[in-house]
Structure 1
Amino acid sequence: MTPEFQAYPHVPRVYPPGKPAGAGTQHVPVLIVGGGPVGLATALGLARHGVRSVLVEADDGVCTGSRAICISRRSLEIIERLGALDGFLAKGLPWAGGRSFYRDEEVLHFSMPQDAHQKLPPMVNLAQYHIEQFLLDAAERHAELIDIRWQTKVTAVEQRGSGAGLTLATPDETYNIDTDWLVAADGGRSAVREALGLKLQGTSYEGRYVIVDIHLKSSRPTERLAYFDPPSNPGSTVLVHKQPDDIWRIDYQLRDDEDAQAAVLIENVAPRVDSLLAMMGETAPWHPVWITIYKANALTLEKYRHGRVLFAGDAAHLVPIFGVRGANSGIDDADNLAWKLAHVVQGKSSAALLDSYCDERVFAAHENLRHGSKSTEFMAPPTFAFELMRTAVLGLAGKHPQVRSLINPRQTSAIAYARSPLNAADTDEFLAGPAPGSVLPECPLALLDHGTRTARHMTDLVNLGQGGFVGLYFSDDGAVPAELAAVPGVTMLAVARQPLQAAGLCAWDHTGQLFSLFGARHGSFYLVRPDGHVLGRWHEAAAAHVRQALATILTREAA
């Protein structure tokens, strides 16, 4: 008997069309097109700096269907800064590894980096409708700074030297809006990108995958499961992810001779799902909630800044799903863009700062595409030669551990901007620690606030900057030199072995690991950007070093 479709447990709220305030052409400092994870994260990042934005979304609420499902540790760190972490951790299913099978043999059991230093899990499974809802809940707490207009489509875009003019249409009316800065976060079919005549460049792969979400009660642990040429679906590759609410995401590859339209019919999907579940030993009844088809793309714009228009997320790049880099790279885009755009809007920096957004995130996109393409070529071999290589690797992996790394799906990780124009070049030799452009490593610490001790982590210290720069002065006794403490625009914190002379806030290295993790000694100093990337580091920092590093960013010259 063919199972009947049922709805997802989560039913999105429907929002009425957005209403413009007043008659005539409006003007806003920042207009964000797209109310998905990237658009909402950008709006929240701007609000964290006190910058108002208007966000327009063509749909009438958060998404439905199966889209992004995995959120990385790096994204969770960003989401915490945006004030939305609690929902992600309460609802999401954490996982730290997975298994790959060739036919009926396990050929890989991998684990992602996870140790006692970490505050957050390596990965959390959470459907995109939940991701959007939790970000939206946070955005609604900033209603004075974030104006969300639903059922509002972009029908025209006009670039200008001082911004952009857009025509927006709702079911009730059409109106015009001018903006100093336009952020295009409107997905893979970006209306803004189309209006500007811009094209994504790269590779579109021929392999096709059917994506099926099913409801199934199971006690199986949460991990990434990959089946190559399984008995249930010979010649295919199948991926399985457990999600909250007893939802399971199943991706299986179609053969070249299969018709795509017929492949998504439930009468053709159900036998394959039945066969897969029987192979896995899952005997509980199931029903489908979503079926669609997917092709992998490895595409990007050459530039993400076009005058006063800035692209982020899928509007800027399309990354294969293998390695979960899609939504995660978009959230990283938003984190990078928001603080820089806020600095420009508030007159703290020139518009040239936004060129570094383009430099850093285009570099990150190429890194993500490089890894995603390798995974895609293994998951869905584009040629006979790739297929021959994959068959050989899978056949050997069971008995030869040295080849198993070739099966590893290369999950997303934080990207270091090693060549960023913002980096202060190393002038001192560090034997360990994050180089300029890298994110801070995680480690537990004790935060002392006038004698009150709380258990915290290194990445929490970025939040103490309230959206600004943070200076970490490694000190034997908790004291910070007066000249460093007086540098404007930087929240200074001592990282102390023994906080005997700490004044105000101080991070205590109570585990004895922070100094070695950062390659630090008494007097070492790290300057950290609002997005948690290191701007510069010195063993004997002078206030002049810090001011010079900040001057690269805090310049008001016209651009």
Structure 2
Amino acid sequence: MHFPAAEPRKSLYYNYQVFPHYHGAASETADDQTVTVVGAGPIGMTAALLLAKQGVKVILLSAELQLSEGSRALVYTKRSMEILQAAGAAERIMAKALPWTHGNSIYKGQIAFRMASPVSEHDQFAPLNNLQQNWLEHFLLEEIQQQPNIEMRWGNKVVDHEQTHDQVTLTIETPEGAYQHTSKWVVAADGGRSPIRERMKLRMEGASYEGRFVIADIRIKLDYPTERLAYFSPDWNPGNTILMHREPDSIWRFDYQLDPAVSPEEALLPENLHKAVNDQLKMIGKDHLAWEMDWSTVYSARALTLDNYVHNRIIFAGDAAHLLPIFGVRGANTGFQDAQDLAWKLAAVVKGWAPEKLLESYSCDRVGAAREIIAEAGKSTRFMAPPTEGYRLLRNAVLSLSLAHEFVRPLYHWRTSRPHAYTHSPLNSQHDDNAQMNELTENGALIPNVKFADGSFLYDAISGKFTVLALTEQGQLPASLHAEIAALKKQGIPVQLVALALDGVTADGADRTAAIAPDVAAERFFAQAGAIYLVRPGHHINGRWINYRENAITQTFQQFLQAAEGAAA
């Protein structure tokens, strides 16, 4: 039997609720339209919500009886907030989160480099947003509780599984004993130590770094703005790094690097935690302030990924699929992108309008993203926590030179996480004008968001559906385009036609018309009247045309629908 902690976790700022456990019949089989998600952290919850909003039923399993402890994933990018908006939780999250735009790298008491994240009037969210993971999960859970398509099961720990060609049977332990649950599809979002991944003996590729960091969440009144503070080689921790982040509820997070000779167990002793915090406060001249410890842990920097996320009917997402360094806020933020890409593709397969082969593109697209992040994050990690004496010498040279030479200072840049462009996705159109159009809106890239005159945003209008964006004048749309969209809808494909009217004239036959100024169209899309964009349900461009060509959009869909038609025949 499985006995998760039944006493509420202790926190200085969050009141934990213990939920009643679920126990099923000795054996049960979910219907073919149900997906089972293992792991109710941020990625599992988000995947469940995005699937539910695609009309898929979800059973969401949590081994615990309560939400996660401590700040954990803390900084959420603009892209993550756009995904959480599609999941239905962003408004609640942003009512609590602390947005920010700047990060400071400090050496010898001087700001050696100040990072500024770009902002635009068309941004729906700030570039970076701080919120403790328990609060994030709280708001996701509130949305889950409003979704009739999601069944939340607390205290359900998957201890074994058996997979055949068309289903997975999970053995689930609860406080009342075990039961077996069979599902057509299982999403493994069960974390960095994924028991499902371990049972399958799947190996990750990449690099692990020796550097270990302590996270210490403390409650203290500091009069600093919400900006990242990175102190390099502070006097009390020479050769190492400490990061400081402001959190809601007067909580501050200290991430400080451990000396290799200090074990995690030793580092987490109360007297050692208190000494480190007091030393940092003394260095910044705030040691006169009272503070309380809320939560602490130790983590290591790793840059690893599976080479395939789809294993028949078990699909991996988030930390179960990859382990990425937190420098540049890449962990959970990458997982949210997994959840978004997986949700619409798995929904397409479950609902029957696309073949199972479509899921191969999830693995292709997201493994490619993880590998790109690993290459980029490795640079940040080697600077923040040098893995060898050679890298340490290089880092120390940069630190010393930066005090007097401005050209060196950009080397401090922590290369913030950015959305991956699916440039090499097998879904990208082979029947379009991609090669003739501006590379900033190439196939696989995110379609730029647009804030309309009424305050609404393009992403809210196109989330969760394939969208044909047509730039129009005088309400003109090709008649054959209407016919194409209607035929695709008859196949069960969630597709819509949205006209972006450069002159504000409503386009007959469009599912929606939004007015957009010609200069905004030129600036955001590098396009004029007549241009067409096909956009995936997750906001990435799937094809683009300077002018509409009959049947080109249908041909693009055929690239991944032909297998389904062949099977039906």
Scaled by the length of structure 1, what TM-score is found?
0.94
Alpha-carbon distance between aligned partners in 1 of 2:321 and 2:27, rounded to the nearest angstrom: 31
Residues 502 and 529, structure 2, Cα contact 8 Å, conserved in 1: no
1:90-169 superposed matches below 5 A: 90-142=95-147, 144-169=148-173
Partner SS for 1:474: strand
Partner SS for 1:25: strand
Partner of residue 231, structure 2: 227
Partner of residue 302, structure 1: 307
Partner SS for 2:230: strand
39, 59, 64: which one pairs with 1:59? 64
1:488-503 superposed matches below 5 A: 488-489=488-489, 490-503=495-508
Q: Which runs of 5+ in 2 are unaligned?
A: 1-8, 490-494
* Cα offsets for 1:233-283 (capped at 9, x unmatched): 323210111111111110111112223322211211212211212322334
Moved over 4 A (4+): none
Confirm whether residue 468 of structure 1 aligns to residue 465 of structure 2.
yes
Confirm whether residue 538 of structure 1 aligns to residue 541 of structure 2.
no
Alpha-carbon distance between aligned partners in 2 of 1:431 and 1:372, rounded to the nearest angstrom: 28
Residues 505 and 515, structure 2, Cα contact 8 Å, conserved in 1: no
Partner of residue 25, structure 1: 28
Partner of residue 242, structure 1: 246
Alpha-carbon distance between aligned partners in 1 of 2:560 and 2:135, rounded to the nearest angstrom: 36
* TM-superposed deviation, 1:549: 1.0
* TM-superposed deviation, 1:432: 5.7
* Cα offsets for 1:524-548 (capped at 9, x unmatched): 0000000000000001122401111
Confirm whether residue 85 of structure 1 aligns to residue 90 of structure 2.
yes
Partner of residue 455, structure 2: 455
* TM-superposed deviation, 1:417: 0.6
Alpha-carbon distance between aligned partners in 2 of 1:113 and 1:94, rounded to the nearest angstrom: 13
Alpha-carbon distance between aligned partners in 2 of 1:203 and 1:258, rounded to the nearest angstrom: 22
* Cα offsets for 1:277-309 (capped at 9, x unmatched): 232233431111112111111111111001111
Q: Which runs of 5+ in 1 are unaligned?
A: 447-453
Partner of residue 397, structure 2: 392
Partner SS for 1:162: coil
* Cα offsets for 1:371-406 (capped at 9, x unmatched): 221111101101111011111111122332322222
Distance 1:506 1:281, change over 3 A: farther
Identity %: 41
Matched to 1:537, the amino acid is R
* TM-superposed deviation, 1:316: 0.5
Matched to 2:469, the amino acid is L
Partner of residue 482, structure 2: 485
Residues 518 and 528, structure 2, Cα contact 8 Å, conserved in 1: no
Matched to 2:203, the amino acid is K
Alpha-carbon distance between aligned partners in 2 of 1:342 and 1:431, rounded to the nearest angstrom: 32
193, 199, 207: which one pairs with 1:203? 207
Confirm whether residue 9 of structure 1 aligns to residue 36 of structure 2.
no
Partner of residue 451, structure 1: none
Task: Name the one with the larger helix percent.
Answer: 2
Residues 472 and 502, structure 2, Cα contact 8 Å, conserved in 1: yes
Residues 322 and 370, structure 2, Cα contact 8 Å, conserved in 1: yes
Alpha-carbon distance between aligned partners in 1 of 2:116 and 2:523, rounded to the nearest angstrom: 25
Residues 154 and 167, structure 1, Cα contact 8 Å, conserved in 2: yes
Partner SS for 1:553: helix
Q: Cα RMSD between the aligned structures?
A: 1.8
Partner of residue 6, structure 2: none
Partner of residue 5, structure 2: none
Distance 1:61 1:543, change over 3 A: farther
Distance 1:291 1:354, change over 3 A: same
Alpha-carbon distance between aligned partners in 1 of 2:429 and 2:118, rounded to the nearest angstrom: 28
Confirm whether residue 513 of structure 1 aligns to residue 540 of structure 2.
no
Partner of residue 178, structure 2: 174
Matched to 1:66, the amino acid is S
* TM-superposed deviation, 1:511: 7.3
* Cα offsets for 1:126-183 (capped at 9, x unmatched): 11111111111111101x2111111111111111001111111101021111111111
Alpha-carbon distance between aligned partners in 1 of 2:225 and 2:521, rounded to the nearest angstrom: 33
Matched to 1:445, the amino acid is F
Residues 202 and 299, structure 1, Cα contact 8 Å, conserved in 2: yes
Alpha-carbon distance between aligned partners in 2 of 1:472 and 1:342, rounded to the nearest angstrom: 22
Residues 213 and 299, structure 2, Cα contact 8 Å, conserved in 1: yes
Distance 1:131 1:511, change over 3 A: farther
Partner of residue 433, structure 2: 427
Alpha-carbon distance between aligned partners in 2 of 1:412 and 1:158, rounded to the nearest angstrom: 36
Distance 1:71 1:525, change over 3 A: same
Partner SS for 2:249: helix
Confirm whether residue 445 of structure 1 aligns to residue 452 of structure 2.
yes
Residues 26 and 180, structure 2, Cα contact 8 Å, conserved in 1: no
Matched to 1:98, the amino acid is G
Partner SS for 2:416: coil
Confirm whether residue 339 of structure 1 aligns to residue 344 of structure 2.
yes
540, 548, 553: which one pairs with 2:560? 553
- The worse-fitting range, judged by mean Cα deviation, of 541-550 and 253-262 is 253-262
Alpha-carbon distance between aligned partners in 2 of 1:172 and 1:26, rounded to the nearest angstrom: 19
Alpha-carbon distance between aligned partners in 1 of 2:438 and 2:417, rounded to the nearest angstrom: 26
Count of matched residue positions in the alignment of Structure 1 and Structure 2: 543
- The worse-fitting range, judged by mean Cα deviation, of 189-198 and 332-341 is 189-198
